[in-house]
Amino acid sequence: MISTEELIMSEPQEIVPVEKSDLVGIVAQLFAEGYRLVQIGCTTLPEAYELTYSFDREYRFRNLRFTVRPDEEVPSISVIYPNAFLYENEIHDLFGITITHITVDYRGTLYRTAISTPFSIGNVKFSEPPPQKEKG
């Protein structure tokens, strides 16, 4: 049992780098251990996407993280966590990442956006980092 003092303290975030090919197996193990799916997040990088799958058990987070190129497919985890279909459809619609075998697949119609895949690599403009001051 977790004490009130432990709940008040800052929670360490565990980020576990994984291979995309191992995702479904690891997620199935987390499900078997009693973890709940909290969120699936995606970030656009200059030449790839970073996906983070967050799980929780007893107020402790475990985040699985991997990157994918624009031409790669990602396997769905919605057969294990049924609510994942919403996150997966969102990632497909907003980032353009192909997610295979989603249990409820909206096929690109979950969101109506002014432009297709607004957060895809082709649509995101990356700013230049600010110039560094010379140390003197």
- 16: Cβ contacts below 8 Å, ≥ 6 apart: 62, 63, 64, 65
Of 12-16, 34-38, 87-91, 102-106, which range is least confident?
A: 12-16
pTM of the model: 0.86
Structure confidence by residue, pLDDT tens digits, 20-38: 999 999 999 999 999 999 9
pLDDT at residue 6 in the model: 60
DSSP run (H or E) holding 89:
helix 84-95
pLDDT of 116 > 70? The answer is yes
What is 10-100's CATH topology?
A: Beta Polymerase; domain 2 (3.30.460)
DSSP state of 106: -
Give the residue extent of every domain in the chain.
10-100
Q: Indicate the pairing of strand 60-68 with strand 14-17.
A: parallel
pLDDT at residue 3 in the model: 64
Q: Which has more pLDDT, 15 or 10?
A: 15
d(CA 59, CA 91): 26
pLDDT of 61 > 60? The answer is yes
pLDDT at residue 24 in the model: 98
